[in-house]
Amino acid sequence: MTGRELRDRILPHLVIWPPILISCAYVLVFSAWTVWVSFTRSTLMPEYSWAGWRNYTTMLATRNWQIAYSNLFIYGICFVVFTMAMGLLLAVLIDQRIRGENVYRTIFLYPLAVSFVVTGTVWGWLLNPTIGIQKLMHDWGWTSFRFEWLIDRDKAIYTIVIAGVWQASGFAMALLLAGLRSVDADLLKAAQIDGAGPLRTYFRVIFPTIGPIFVAVLVMLLQFAIKTYDLVVALTAGGPGLASTLPTVVVYDFMFQRGELAKGSAAAVMLLGSLAFVLVPYGLYRYWKRRQGGAHA
């Protein structure tokens, strides 16, 4: 074997393996450590005396966690559904070969480039009844206009949905648009020849073909939703009261504000569990798809 051959053979491994090992170590070691800490009596500092499931039961019993989790449910579902719907609508509209497509695509994708803190702050101003949209409407003479979701404890969580959807729709659009464009032209022609109108073509031909892309977008949005933190902090600060808090906020609050490392870790582990709730079925789905594909081939 010449030196060159040897290098060609070793180099890819050298390039690939160290980063993989480092990131695995990083993710696994720290996750394992967090799990461990969640079973200890740690408060200000990590210490390793066994506490059993106590931290989990206390966390589950706190109002903060209960509110946060039911909020995550509302937010997760609304965010994913509305973002997908908006993204799909935008993608289909842009798919009509309109003029200035690139400009629109950039505009819609742009919010994704904006930090959540900025999004949160700006929407916080817009939605605040005394300085935002409501005040504008009142100043214009429409004095019966009411939009007070931000300060309504039952609706505050939906303002986070609004800001989140605004931010992520462009992302869903970009992926779905790529999907729409990837559909085989022959299929579309066949549909045209069969006399299918545009609406029918979309619903019966195009959407079913790009099913896997929907699933991918869904999974990505779901894990976006579970990870949401900065948006809440900037938009509502978890309020009014605790009404719009999310699990991530609770984790940070317990770990770093209250100096309850073990309880915060328990919350973090439960959050990791909910991520697994999304990712494991997705992994199984992929596996099943592959098996199916293999069987057909």
Partner 1 sequence: MKSIRVGRRAVLGSAVASLTLPRELRAQGTVKPRVTVISQWSSGSSGAAMAALGKTFEAQGGVWEHNPVPGFTTDMMNKLRAQIIAGDPPAVSQLKGPEIAAWSKIAPVVDLDAQVKAAGYEAVVPVELAKLSKPAGHWVALPIQAYRINTLFVSKKAADAISMTKLPTTWAEFNAVAEKMKAAGITPIANGGIKWDDGMKWEIALCGISLEAYRKALMELDAKALNGPEVLAAFKQFRKFGEWSDPGVAAQDYTTFVSRFMKGEMGMLLMGDWAAGIYKRGGFQLSDYMVGPAPADDGKIAFDLNSDEFMFWQKPQKEFQEGQKLLASIVMSKELGPLFCQITGSIPIRTDTDLSAPGFNDQQRKASHAMAEAAKSGRMVLSLAHNMAQTNQITAAMIDVLTEFVHDNRISAEEGQKRLANAVDNVR
Placement of tokens 């039911």 in the chain: 70
Taking the least distance from each CB to partner 1, the nearer of 8 and 148 is 148
Q: How far is the CB of 112 from partner 1 (least distance, A)?
A: 24
Q: How far is the CB of 29 from partner 1 (least distance, A)?
A: 16
- In the chain the first and final C-alpha atoms are separated, in Å, by 38
Taking the least distance from each CB to partner 1, the nearer of 78 and 263 is 263
Q: How far is the CB of 151 from partner 1 (least distance, A)?
A: 5
Taking the least distance from each CB to partner 1, the nearer of 155 and 286 is 155
Dihedral class, residue 115 (left if φ above 0, else alpha if ψ from -120 to 50, else beta): beta
The number of CA neighbours under 13 Å toward the Cβ of 247 is 27
Would you tell me which residues interact with partner 1 (CB under 8 A)? 43-46, 58, 61-64, 124, 128-131, 148, 150-151, 153, 156, 235-237, 239-243, 253, 256-260
Nearest CA to 53 among 75, 35, 77?
A: 35
Placement of tokens 């099913």 in the chain: 211
d(CA 55, CA 266): 6
Taking the least distance from each CB to partner 1, the nearer of 145 and 282 is 145
The number of CA neighbours under 13 Å toward the Cβ of 101 is 11
Q: How far is the CB of 78 from partner 1 (least distance, A)?
A: 20
Taking the least distance from each CB to partner 1, the nearer of 159 and 274 is 159
Q: How far is the CB of 135 from partner 1 (least distance, A)?
A: 9
